[in-house]
Amino acid sequence: EAQVVESGGGWVQPGESLRLSCFASGFIFKYHWMAWIRQAPGKGLEWVAHIKEDTTETYYADSVKGRFTISKDDANNALYLQMNSLRAADTAVYYCVRGGWELDVWGQGTTVTVSS
Amino acid sequence: DVVLTQSPLSLPVTLGQPASISCRSSQSLVYRDGNIYLNWFQQRPGQSPRRLIYKVSNRDSWVPDRFSGSGSGTDFTLKISSVEAEDVGVYYCMVCITPCNGLMQWPPFTFGPGTKLDIK
């Protein structure tokens, strides 16, 4: 069964950094686009970033461009999201999701809280 | 930018009764390969979202056949033929804006605001 499991969330102060990790199993990771999607408390879903299966292309929402970096380590079946210069508006549950348009496998999410 | 509008935003339904959720796009969603990459997701209370329907009308393997998706152009619908208690949650439509999995334009993905279904 295809699964992804996120980790790395926590509480940070505005301006600080955090690195989220996602470990995949049950599928051939290197063949898939991967994404991060977030959900602020009580709000809807917001796309954050995508990375192509071969890591040659990355895409970001305007709200995180220049601050967040998505990366992929096929040797370890891992997806990362480096988040710098965090803001209160980045407070959310962050989901690791398999796919480009497919978005067919979701993790349980990891919570990021940015507050002073 | 494509904007997805869902209606209703709140949907109280009696058990056993049908339910219908509309998702409308501000522009046509037909991609150059003829596909429409519109998906529906279900998020039960306290859980992660799960894909329910992909490319307008294809059910995922876990989805009961009481769920169906349809639509074309700019108007899409998710229907539940007979609501059960386990269907309570929020339903989101999502579209991959052309082009998908290629030279993406900005932004590449957008979600509808969500429709909250609960039992009367």
Taking an 8 Å cut-off on Cβ atoms, the answer to whether B51 and A61 are in contact is no
**What percentage of residues in chain B have a pLDDT greater than 90?**
69
Please tell me which residue of chain A has the smallest CA distance to B37: A101
Contact call for residues B94 and B109 (beta carbons, < 8 A): yes
Is pLDDT of B43 > 80?
Answer: yes
Confidence category of residue B42, pLDDT binned at 50, 70, 90:
very high
Q: Closest by alpha carbon to A46, among A63, A33, A58, A66? A: A63
d(CA A110, CA A83): 13
Pairing of strands A110-114, A10-12: parallel
pLDDT at B107: 54
Whether B49 contacts chain A with CB within 8 A: yes
> A46-78 b/e with 16+ CB inside 10 Å = b?
bbbbbbbbeeeeebbbeebeeebbbebebeebb
Is pLDDT of A40 > 70?
Answer: yes
What average pLDDT does the segment B53-62 reach?
96
Whether B54 contacts chain A with CB within 8 A: yes
Q: For residue A107, list chain B residues with Cβ-Cβ distance below 8 A.
A: 48
pLDDT tens for each residue of B19-40: 999 999 888 777 777 788 899 9
Taking an 8 Å cut-off on Cβ atoms, the answer to whether A59 and B108 are in contact is yes
Is pLDDT of B103 > 50?
Answer: no
pLDDT tens for each residue of A7-23: 999 999 999 999 999 99
